[in-house]
Structure 1
Amino acid sequence: MARSTARRRALNTLYEADEKGQDFLSLLDERIAQPGAQTPLPEYAIEIVRGVDENRRDIDSQLNTHSTGWKVKRMHAIDRNILRIATWEILYNDDVPDKVAIDEALNLSKTLSDDAAPSFIHGVLSAIVAAKDKQSPQSTPLDDSDKDESDQTN
C-alpha cells in the first residue's frame, strides 16, 4: 500500500482519537484488533501513529515554537494532526525526505481542510525544516591546515 494512503489512514486514527479525547495508542490498538469495514491498517500507518505518540511532547513543542499566532491547542484538529505526522517524518523518519513530508502534508490539507490551511501548514513545516537544518552539523571538506601533521609529506 502506498505511503500516501498510509498517511491518510494514520491521520484518520490520530484525528479520531484527538476528537474523542482518547489516547492515540488505545485507539490504534482498537483499529488493529478490529479494523471494521476498512482494510487493516498499513504497517506505515501504525508506525506513524506510534511515532507521533512517542514523540508527541517534542512534536507539539516544535509546532508551538514555529507556529505564528496559533498554539497546538487552538489549531483545528485535522490541521494539528497533519502537522504532527509531517513533523514526525521530518524529525524522526530519515527514510522520508523533508520535501516529501511537506508535499504530503499539503496534499492532505488541500483535500481535508479549509483554503487557508495549506499556506499555514507550509509555513510551519518550512520553519521546522529550517531550524532542523540549522542545528545539523554541516560537513565541510578538510583543507591542508586541518590535516594531521603526520599525514603531510615534505
Structure 2
Amino acid sequence: MARSTARKRALNTLYEADEKGQDILSLLAERIEHPGAQTPLPDYAVEIVRGVAEHRRDIDTVLGECSTSWKVSRMPVVDRNIMRIAAWEIMYNDDVPSGVAIDEAMALAKTLCDADSPNFIYGLLSAVAAKTQENTQENTNE
C-alpha cells in the first residue's frame, strides 16, 4: 500500500483521537484489533500514529515555536494533525526527505482543509524543516 494512503489512514486515526480527546495509542490498539469495515491499518500508518503519540509533546512544541500566529491548540483539528504527521516525518523519520513530507502534507491539506490552510501549513512545515536541519547541523558540529 502506498505511503500516501498510509498517511491518510494515520490522519483519520489521529483526527479521531483528537476530536474525542482519547489517548492515541488506545485508539490505535482498537483500530488494529477491530478494523471494522476498513482494511487493516497499513504498517506505515501504525508507525506514524505511534511516532506522533510518542513524540507529540516535542512535535507540538516545535509547531508552536514555528507558528507566528496560532497556538497549536487553536489550529483546526485536521490541519494540526496533518502537520503532526509531517513534523514527525521531518524530525524523526530519516527515510522521508523533508520535501516529501511537506508535499504529502500539502496534498492532504488541499483535499481536506479550507482554502487558507495549505499556505499556512506549507509555511509552518518549511519552518519546522529549517529548524530541524539547523538543530541537526548544530549537533553534528559539537
Q: State whether TM-score is above 0.5.
A: yes
* Residue 97 (structure 2) aligns with: 97
State the 4+ residue runs in structure 1 displaced beyond 6 angstroms.
none
Q: What code does the residue aligned with 1:128 have?
A: V
Q: What code does the residue aligned with 1:5 have?
A: T
Q: How many angstroms apart in 2 are the aligned matches of 1:100 and 1:15?
A: 21
* Residue 33 (structure 1) aligns with: 33
Could you tell me how far 1:45 is from its partner in structure 2? Answer: 0.2
Matches within 5 A, 1:20-59: 20-59=20-59
Q: How many angstroms apart in 2 are the aligned matches of 1:76 and 1:22?
A: 17
RMSD: 1.3
Q: How many angstroms apart in 2 are the aligned matches of 1:28 and 1:77?
A: 18
Q: How many angstroms apart in 2 are the aligned matches of 1:113 and 1:137?
A: 33
Q: How many angstroms apart in 1 are the aligned matches of 2:87 and 2:108?
A: 14
Q: SS in structure 2 opposite 1:39?
A: coil
Kindly provide the CA deviation profile for residues 11-66 of structure 1, in whole angstroms up to 9, marking residues without a partner as x: 00000010001010011000000000000000000000000000000000001000
* Residue 6 (structure 2) aligns with: 6
Q: What code does the residue aligned with 2:121 have?
A: I
Matches within 5 A, 1:65-76: 65-76=65-76
* Residue 148 (structure 1) aligns with: none
* Residue 147 (structure 1) aligns with: none
* Residue 114 (structure 1) aligns with: 114
TM-score, structure 1 normalization: 0.88
Could you tell me how far 1:131 is from its partner in structure 2? Answer: 1.1
**Consecutive unaligned residues in structure 2, runs of 5 or more:** none
Higher radius of gyration, 1 or 2: 1
Could you tell me how far 1:135 is from its partner in structure 2? Answer: 2.1
Could you tell me how far 1:132 is from its partner in structure 2? Answer: 1.5
* Residue 17 (structure 2) aligns with: 17
TM-score, structure 2 normalization: 0.96
Q: How many angstroms apart in 2 are the aligned matches of 1:137 and 1:117?
A: 30
Q: SS in structure 2 opposite 1:137?
A: helix
